[in-house]
Structure 1
Amino acid sequence: MARRRMAAATTFKARFAGASVKQVTKSNFAAVIPQIKADIEAAEFIAISTRKTGDSSSSSSHRRPWRMILPFDTSETAYLKSKLAAENFELLQFAVCPFSIRGSKVLAFPYNFHLFPRDELTLGMPSYSFSCQTSFLTSMACEGFDFNACVYDGISYLSRVQEAKVREINMGSWMHTVASSQNFSVADSIFKERIKARITHWRKGCKDTGRTKDESFVQSLRKIVLGGEDYGSRPGLSVDICSEKQVLLVFEIVEHISDDLVPIVISHNGGESKAVRVVLTSSEEDKKALLTEIQNLEDEKNLKLRGFRYVIDLISSSHKTIVSDNCLHEFTFIHQKFLGPLPATLSEFMCSLRLLFSNVIDLNHLLKEFGPLRKAKNIPSALSYLKRQYFAPVELEVPVRAEDGNQCHGNNVLKLTFLFAKLNILLKNAPSSLTKLELSTSMEDYANIFYPASVTLPEPGDDDDETGLRIDTTRRVSTDNILFLWGFDGVISAMELKNRLLQIHPVFSEDFDVLLADKSCTIVVFGRKGAAGILVKDMGSVDTISGVLREMVVDGLRAAGYDAYKKVCRLGLWEGDLADSMEVALADTVEEDLCSLSRTNTNEINWNSEMMIDLNDLWTKYWIDGG
């Protein structure tokens, strides 16, 4: 079985081994922009995939495993954990694949951008720092990732918020939108009349067609007297200014004098405007050519300033459907790095994200909607299942456009593209056996729904599963039925703790599950509504209880409802063990009824009973997805 599983994995990798993913660094970034811009405009969809220095979905991500996204997390707490990861870790690779589907053929144009954040423009932005996880860096190193090239030739970037701050401080544009000035001061009026007379006199002198024998001498004197200077092959005049308001005044004056004049802002090295250069063009065609030159210079300046975010803006402005996997996690990184600081809540995040991408399809959510595919552990297992069960041929065509080098980087985005194409074909030609597909007629019905991808840890016997599928025992559980317990003696396994709990209270005589969040705290999921509230109430009345429960409460056994856990995540109490963080949250009495287990608007989670694991598994095991 192990051999068959390895053979299947080898076949899956071989499918994309020959694909050519264009590797993009700072050296060829500018040259690639026109190419990817054309590919984005021609595509139907855009798949994206990233490689990071770490994240919150790995069991090795922290010394405190409860900071992983786990089965007891709601969408809100999962977002807060993803937010923590996005604020601490960094993106090193960003793969983009514009693609179109024509019948059973997929035409894909994959790019893999190598990133590294730096203040290379010396704009005075805050220095960048980030955390790393050795498991992530080791995996990239095994694939041949060149960390030296990343540091020295990786593409830097600014977020939209950072760029706005830079432009506000010291990065003005060469061109200004002319607006009618209001409420002129006396000084403004004097400045306008003086500059208007000077520009008019200079333009008249330049237009003078009279020639003399001493033409060169006269022209030199005119330039000295009027302050004229050439702008390339065109006559120019520099007007010194003292404020941004004077820049606008000069632009307004030029607009009213003549159509053959073009004003250009000249800046200091620091970025502040120091003058406006007025350029005289010879014809309408010459003026258009000059404006094109200026726009090209402006685009080059913007590209250098924004860095890789220029590509993000191209994707955003295209309004194409974005395809990715585990989007809650991916897009918290994208928001943090390329839009701005992450909002405090999931709803605010989703609203803010719509400023960048209006239509996002999460393959992780899509797989959960496709019947048996909800049991797939990763993309290879999903593709393997589809290949065995449904006839949906897909021909992936990737033009060979990459240079020599390691082509394995960025292949994940091709896997996403291939899986999405198969699902898309099935959706359009849904067989009657796929009841889930009959509920929808287009991919748009699955857009903008981010399904939190929790860590799934392998149980004994998983290694014998050649299909890559797990038994689906997931059920909807109200957070009112979840209880956090800590203060039990020693570090014991989940099964041992469950057997011990059977002896302390009648509520444990019915169905319940136990999951160790870390060495200090356990999560109990009750099958009967109200059981958690009964236990909390009894533990709060030490004088009325007896036996083992009383002894454990006296020795320090503590309990809290799900609201306490949500408060821990909301306050960012990430640094301690979960038990210590829960104590801090309980000590903060700002919010009333912290331990309440009966709320009008309760949340639900997707609970899987297979998460009853030994604590040693929590520290040492983690199923690494192939996608």
Structure 2
Amino acid sequence: MIRQWLLRWAIPKTLTLVRRYRPFSSSSSGGGVVMKRVTRANFESALEGLRARVQGADFVAIDLEMTGVTSAPWRECFEFDRADVRYLKVKDSAEKFAVVQIGVCPFRWDPSRGSFLAYPHNFFIFPRKELPFDGPSHEFLCQTTSMNFLAKYQFDFNTCIHEGISYLSRVQEAEALNKLSSAYENELTNSINTSGENLEIPIVSTADLLFTERIKNKFHEWRNRITESSCAECYVKEKTEHVMTQFQTIFFKMRPAVTLNGFNSHQMKLIQLVLRKHFKDLVFIHAQGEEVMLERKVVYTDSEEDKALLMREVLEDLHRSKEARVRSAVGFRHVIDFLVSEQKLIVGHNCLLDIAHVYSKFFGPLPSSMMEFALSIHENFPNIVDTKHLLNSSYVLQYLMKKNSKSLSSAFSLLCPEASSDSPKSAHSYVKFEVQTDETGLSNWTSGAKHEAGL
């Protein structure tokens, strides 16, 4: 009886620390809770669904699973650590270990049901190289106790590595855009057919001499066919005469062109030298094809103005392709960006390390000082509630939890006995929630254990 009274007295006082408090009331059946499992395969669709859930949410809970916590015994956090010392320890951990799973769960209060509706999403993430110039492969530490913990609760390492969603931080995205821009501009510069140049073709061997003469003759024949007849007639004639596939006429930007296939890099250089020396109206370009790789084409232009216009059009295409490619590589950070833009209340449990990982993985290198870190986090996430801090702020709850256990599972057993398998179902539940699923089928939904990131 005294225990029940203490709970009724302590819980409202604790919850009033949350600015947008609405009384928890509720229902939850025992057993596993269904959550949405998100990998690379269904990330785009899940992201769109999550946007709507977050926009209508009263608060969003987050949780991370990592490959380790401390890189050395002396880097463990202790109660007597100064705030700046503890931050440096957390910074070291966030920089050295990887995040393999992130749970994002929007909660919405439904007055008609008298409960919170939860929409748990469990994202597998893995830092793979998505861009060709993304620097060396990612490296991170693994702590045996953490890996054993994940394995104990059936963490799917294969799904994480093979299907985990990659990501770029804001700093990495900016660097990638700059590198892509420089790379494409260099390609375009090299591909421009500068009519003022009169370069000698370096003849390395007899094979090179024969190749350049053959290519020169082929381009002469191809250009003559284009200028002496309509492009359509030329295209039909080539199809009828079975002209070699390396010189079939196509249309690029409403201009006659050929796609160069089957040539090695040395031959490509010889082709460019032939064009520069003998063909002022033929332009060698790198154009975005249907696949990720660039296609090499030779395009006919009828004037210097037309040539300049063509190069501008190619540059615009490559710029759009560049942005789309980087956007795809940004990956899971789109979720973080959306949470930042919505400015929702973020709820976590003992989440300082989680927030440090979010900063390190999705914003950029962690600041050297605690104050700079705190200011940046407050700017991006102005409203954060740590449930462990709430538990520590209530002496009554500490007493009821025996003071030696501040884990989320212990709080769950105390506050949600009906939903906890460790407590009798006859106990009264003070917190009620209902987990919602969509209609996309059960293949993307899985029953989660209490520790999983999605919960």
**Interval of TM-score (by shorter of Structure 1 and Structure 2):** 0.5 to 0.7
Seen in structure 2, the aligned counterparts of structure 1 residues 414 and 369 have a Cα distance that, compared at 3 Å, is farther
State the one-letter code of the partner of 2:47: I
Equivalent pair of 1:21/1:409 in contact (CA under 8 Å):
no
Q: Distance in 1 between matches of 2:367 and 2:390?
A: 26
Q: Give the drift of 1:369.
A: 2.4
Give the AA of the match of 1:369.
S
CA distance in 1, matches of 2:385, 2:119: 19
| CA apart distance, 1:397 | 3.0
Which letter does structure 1 place at the counterpart of 2:48? P
1:368 corresponds to which of 369, 388, 392: 392
The partner residue of 1:89 within 83, 91, 97 is 97
Q: What is the 5 A alignment of 1:346-361? A: 346-361=370-385
* Aligned counterpart for 1:394 among listed residues 432, 448, 452: 432
Q: How does 1:303-314 map to 2 (within 5 A)?
A: 303-314=327-338
Q: How has the CA–CA distance of structure 1 residues 160 and 127 changed in structure 2, closer, same or farther, with 3 Å as cutoff?
A: same
Partner of 2:325: 301
Which residue in the other structure is 2:162 paired with? 152
Distance 2:124 2:328 in 1: 15
Deviation at 1:341, TM superposition (A): 0.6
Contact 2:35 2:121 (8 Å CA) reproduced: yes
**2:351 corresponds to which residue?**
327
TM-score by length of 2: 0.58
Aligned to 2:410: 381
1:408 pairs with 2:416: no
In 1, Cα distance between the equivalents of 2:379 and 2:414? 36
1:108 aligns with 2:122: no
Q: Which moved more, 1:385-394 or 1:133-142?
A: 385-394
Alpha-carbon distance in 2 for matches of 1:301, 1:339? 19
The correspondence for 1:318, drawn from 342, 357, 361, is 342
What is the CA-CA distance between 1:160 and the residue it aligns to? 0.6
Aligned residues: 310
Match of residue 80 from structure 1: 88
Identify the residue that residue 42 of structure 1 maps to in structure 2.
Answer: 56
Question: How big is the shift at 1:108?
Answer: 1.2
* 1:137 lines up with 2:141 in the alignment: no
Q: Is the 8 A contact 1:16 1:414 kept in 2?
A: no
SS in 2 for 1:106: strand
- Structure with the greater relative contact order (CA < 8 A, sep ≥ 6): 1 or 2? 2
1:153 Cα deviation from its structure 2 partner: 1.5
Q: Is 2:34–2:447's contact at 8 Å kept on the other side of the alignment?
A: yes
CA offset digits 1:436-486 (Å, max 9, x no partner): xxxxxxxxxxxxxxxxxxxxxxxxxxxxxxxxxxxxxxxxxxxxxxxxxxx
Q: Is the 8 A contact 1:47 1:413 kept in 2?
A: no
Query: What percent of counterpart residues are identical?
Result: 32
Distance 1:95 1:173 in 2: 37
- Cα distance in structure 2, aligned partners of 1:42 and 1:133: 38
Displacement of 1:267 in angstroms is 6.5
- Judged with a 3 Å threshold, the aligned counterparts in structure 2 of structure 1 residues 410 and 373 are, in CA distance, closer, same or farther, namely closer
Distance 1:149 1:39, change over 3 A: same
Structure 2: gaps of 5 or more residues = 1-27, 185-228, 236-249, 258-285, 295-309, 418-426
Question: Is structure 2 residue 113 aligned with structure 1 residue 118?
Answer: no
Q: Is 1:98 equivalent to 2:106 in the alignment? A: yes
> 2 CA distance for matches of 1:76 and 1:361?
20
Change (3 A) 1:159 1:349: same
Aligned-partner residue type, residue 382 of structure 1: A
Are 1:277 and 2:313 an aligned pair? yes
Task: Name the CA distance, whole Å, in 2 between partners of 1:158 and 1:404.
Answer: 25
Shift of 1:136: 1.2
| SS of corresponding position for 2:44 | helix
Pairing 1:208-219 to 2, within 5 Å after superposition = none
Structure 1 vs Structure 2 CA RMSD: 4.1
Corresponding residue to 2:44 among 30, 39, 51: 30
Cα pair 2:103 2:123 within 8 Å, conserved: yes
TM-score for the superposition, normalised by structure 1:
0.43
Contact 2:101–2:453 (CA under 8 A) maintained in structure 1? no
Aligned partner of 2:67 in structure 1 is: 53
Is there any run of 5+ residues in structure 1 with no aligned partner, and where? 1-13, 175-216, 239-264, 280-290, 416-627
CA distance in 1, matches of 2:81, 2:179: 42
For residues 226-266 of structure 1, the C-alpha deviation after alignment (integer angstroms, 9 at most, x for no partner) is xx9566xxx5899xxxxxxxxxxxxxxxxxxxxxxxxxx96
How many angstroms apart in 2 are the aligned matches of 1:39 and 1:386?
25
Alpha-carbon distance between aligned partners in 2 of 1:171 and 1:407, rounded to the nearest angstrom: 45
Describe the superposition over 1:178-226 as per-residue Cα deviations: whole angstroms up to 9, x where unpaired. xxxxxxxxxxxxxxxxxxxxxxxxxxxxxxxxxxxxxxx6575999xxx
SS in 1 for 2:448: coil
Would you say the 8 A contact 1:40–1:315 is kept in 2?
A: yes
Alpha-carbon distance, 1:99 to partner: 1.5
Superposed displacement of residue 276, structure 1: 2.9
Amino acid of the structure 1 residue aligned with 2:346: I
In the TM superposition, residue 404 of structure 1 has moved relative to its aligned partner by 6.2
Q: Which residue of 1 aligns with 2:172?
A: 162
Alpha carbons of structure 1 residues 395 and 36: separation in structure 2 relative to 1, 3 Å: closer
Instruction: Give the distance between the partners of 2:52 and 2:365, measured in 1 at CA.
Output: 30
Against the structure 1 CA distance between its residues 399 and 405, is the aligned structure 2 distance closer, same or farther, given a 3 Å change threshold? closer
Q: Is the 8 A contact 2:39 2:165 kept in 1?
A: yes
Cα offset, 1:127, TM superposition: 2.3
Q: Given that residues 20 and 400 in structure 1 are in contact (C-alpha distance below 8 angstroms), is that contact kept between their aligned partners in structure 2?
A: no
Q: Give the one of 77, 81, 84 matched to 1:69.
A: 77
Q: Secondary structure at 1:141's aligned position in 2?
A: helix
* Shift of residue 392, structure 1, vs aligned partner: 3.1
C-alpha contact 1:237 1:278 (8 A) present in aligned 2: no
Residues of 2 paired with 1:153 and 1:370: CA distance? 42
* CA deviation map 1:283-336 (0-9, x unaligned): xxxxxxxx9xx98x7885344120111111121112211111122111111111
Displacement after TM superposition at 1:394 (Å): 1.4
Regions of 4+ moved over 4 Å:
171-174, 217-223, 228-231, 235-238, 265-271, 297-300, 387-391, 409-415
- Deviation, 1:47, is 0.8
The one-letter code sitting in structure 2 at the alignment partner of 1:98 is: P
Pair 1:344 & 2:368 matched? yes
